[in-house]
Chain A
Amino acid sequence: MECVFGLVGNDFAVVAADTSAVHSILVHKSNEDKIMILDSHKLIAASGESGDRVQFTEYIQKNVALYQFRNGIPLTTAAAANFTRGELATALRKNPYFVNILLAGYDKETGPSLYYIDYIATLHKVDKGAFGYGSYFSLAMMDRHYHSGMTVEEAIDLVDKCIMEIRSRLVVAPPNFVIKIVDKDGAREYAWRESVKDATVASA
């Protein structure tokens, strides 16, 4: 089951997601990146139905870029979160997207923020959030160890604690995770935590 979680630190926000693409009992690949870089200072970590996940996040990404082209300035994280919620809410009673989203962003005026948006378009600004079966473990770990104003080292340490907990206690624990961070210098990949490496295909 897909595990996505994230938290807000001192002047950054970090999100982590598992990287396995699964269909019933088969693992298609274990290096699927589920955290999309929405724009220079926003990350969208999505979990749920794979087709909906890719299509919906790309749709949001392109619309956020369109806003920037049309208006010359980027959307704030709050605006992007509300736009995403609006799209999910409009589609909810017609053709719902089964995608749960954690939207992390950094704004110059307001600092880092994390938004919890579930698949039925419930929006809430949070300090720490998680989706999936892994959330039972990661939320508990974060409730215990999180405090506001954590440094990057402390936050990554907490993320690693959550990953260890998921790996040891979840029966269908995903083997690999990707961690991405967003701060004043932008959104970027921070690290991978791999315990199973995909075999490389020999070239023809």
Chain B
Amino acid sequence: MSIFEYNGSALVAMVGKNCFAIASDRRLGVQLQTIATDFQRISKIHDRLFLGLSGLATDAQTLYQRLVFRHKLYQLREERDMKPETFANLVSAILYEKRFGPYFCQPVIAGLGDEDKPFICTMDSIGAKELAKDFVVAGTASESLYGACESMFKQDMEPEDLFETVSQALLSSVDRDCLSGWGGHVYVVTPTEVKERILKGRMD
């Protein structure tokens, strides 16, 4: 079993009309055994920027702590929050620093940039950025997620529509992956509010 599949994860981020959604599964496993069904994979960096980390849970926790540290320093120096594009560059640089002994994580970054334009991107474990205009996926269920998102995605969805689409794509994909699932965690972010919702899917 690959080190990326040790804990199991599923992440997806999708762009809507002046909003974005980022969703993850809730399982924390150790290979075939499930340890917890309430694991948080998505963290808030600031009100308009969310980071999801798939892959090895220990590296996701270490990486999250390092990135929050860097962002807090940035906030102290610049007296403002980081733009999503800037943050993506920071994550990419931090991952490439460990080029020959990498963090076994695949991050998904989603945020609202200037003029409330949604920004999403993902990268591999050594920081190769993949910008997308529609959706990005990561984790053990990524192949199923690609298919589900490609068929369900529509341009310029309203927040409620976007929530439905992301939820259906996530739940149907994790149902085909034994290492991810046990519900879902969806954040829908608009310029005015952040809505966090928990999905109940097949609990296996």
Contacts and interface: CB of A to CB of B under 8 A. Distances in A.
Interface of A: 85, 89, 92-93, 116, 118, 120-124, 126, 129, 135-136, 139
Task: Among B7, B57, B58, find the residue whose CB has the most chain A CB atoms closer than 10 A.
Answer: B58
Interface of B: 7, 28, 30, 33, 35-36, 39, 56-58, 61-62, 101
Contacts of B62: 89, 121
Contacts of A122: 7, 28, 57-58, 61
Contact of A85 (B33, B56, B61): B61
Given A118-B30, A122-B28, A89 B35 contact: no
A126 B56 CA distance: 19
Contacts of A92: 58
Task: Among A116, A123, A124, find the residue whose CB has the most chain B CB atoms closer than 10 A.
Answer: A124
B57 A93 contact: no
A32 B176 CA distance: 44
A136 B35 CA distance: 11
A85 B62 CA distance: 10
A116 B36 contact: yes
A85 to B, nearest CB: 7
Task: Among A93, A122, A135, find the residue whose CB has the most chain B CB atoms closer than 10 A.
Answer: A122
Contacts of A129: 35
24 contacts: A85-B61, A89-B61, A89-B62, A92-B58, A93-B101, A116-B35, A116-B36, A118-B30, A120-B56, A121-B58, A121-B62, A122-B7, A122-B28, A122-B57, A122-B58, A122-B61, A123-B61, A124-B28, A124-B35, A124-B39, A124-B57, A126-B35, A129-B35, A135-B33
Contacts of B7: 122
A124 B33 contact: no
Task: Among B33, B35, B101, find the residue whose CB has the most chain A CB atoms closer than 10 A.
Answer: B35
B143 to A, nearest CB: 25
Contacts of A89: 58, 61-62
A115 B175 CA distance: 28
B18 to A, nearest CB: 35
